[in-house]
Chain A
């Protein structure tokens, strides 16, 4: 099965090498989308064996995901899996995720840290994520246990149906909306997310990611 991993990366020089190395045994090709980093993220990723795509200027997490996924589909990927560059995910979770997909038809597998394990999760983060779950349930009708998890897999047929436009973190909500809209069969899969100083840096998202997500979703409603 030809599976591509997509890793959006921004200033991730300290972790991206380790992440790419860890994924090698599980996927056919690893695509790192360097979202305008000023450090050596791209060089390190390339040296470790990833195919690197470069955004000339920073466009955000969502934009990078879409770029990487478009590349994978153009190269004949049968399934794609989204992964983070900061090392918060566990590559050993991939087989479970990929096994949950129904190949050759629209299908999605969504990682859930609340079905699985969230190591060292800060209390505030947990509360915000739980509120996000309620928000997602209210706006899409899907009752998930973890609505904003960046570890997810799709078959080519599922991703091809999506019409995604959000450049930033709101893409995670938009993906769930599209799953609901196109009635894509999905399964939640327990995964382990580990919080460390690296993954909690947070500077990338600013102070209020949740508020920005709601704002972006609202503005998006008025754009075609």
Chain B
């Protein structure tokens, strides 16, 4: 095992431990925990057996293993950002709706 592999592996283990702590503290839902845990477990596996990514890459027709990892990571993060965006869009809608309903009530009150 190379030096960089050991560093990365320690990093992954720390992240897995942090995930568990956040689950215990109630900061993550069980489903979120499982998602992230599996993702980092896979990352840890790739660190130990990097050839796996090259094998998977050739299977799906991507040139290099590291390219495949990068592509999957970027897509995953993009998806997460989409979700976060939609969540804040919906929060904004709630505020705009409450204002619309409240302003109409106020106008009615002042007329009556």
Contacts and interface: CB of A to CB of B under 8 A. Distances in A.
Interface of A: 33, 51-57, 59-60, 63, 66-67, 70-71, 74, 165, 167, 219-220, 222-223
B2 interface: no
Given A71-B104, A222-B83, A55 B97 contact: yes
B93 interface: yes
Given A71-B104, A222-B83, A165 B97 contact: no
A56 B104 contact: no
A219 B100 contact: no
Contacts of A55: 96-97, 100
A219 B96 contact: no
Contact of A71 (B82, B96, B99, B101): B101
Given A63-B93, A219-B82, A56 B87 contact: no
Interface of B is mostly: helix
Interface string B74-97: 000000001100110110110011
Given A219-B83, A219-B86, A223-B83, A167 B93 contact: yes
A66 B96 CA distance: 12
Given A54-B100, A56-B96, A71-B101, A223 B89 contact: no
A220 B89 CA distance: 12
Interface string B34-68: 00000000000000000000000000000000000
A56 B83 CA distance: 24
A54 to B, nearest CB: 6
7 contacts: A53-B101, A53-B104, A55-B96, A59-B92, A63-B97, A71-B101, A223-B83
B21 interface: no
Contacts of B90: 165, 167, 223
Contacts of B103: 53-54
Interface centre among B90, B93, B104 (most CB of A within 10 A): B93
Given A222-B83, A223-B87, A51 B104 contact: yes
Nearest to A62: B93
Nearest to B85: A219
A53 B96 CA distance: 11
Closest A-B pairs by Cβ, 5 of them: A53-B100, A67-B97, A63-B93, A59-B93, A55-B96
A222 B89 CA distance: 14
Given A52-B104, A57-B96, A59-B97, 11 more contacts: A33-B100, A55-B100, A56-B100, A57-B92, A67-B96, A67-B97, A70-B97, A167-B89, A167-B93, A223-B83, A223-B86
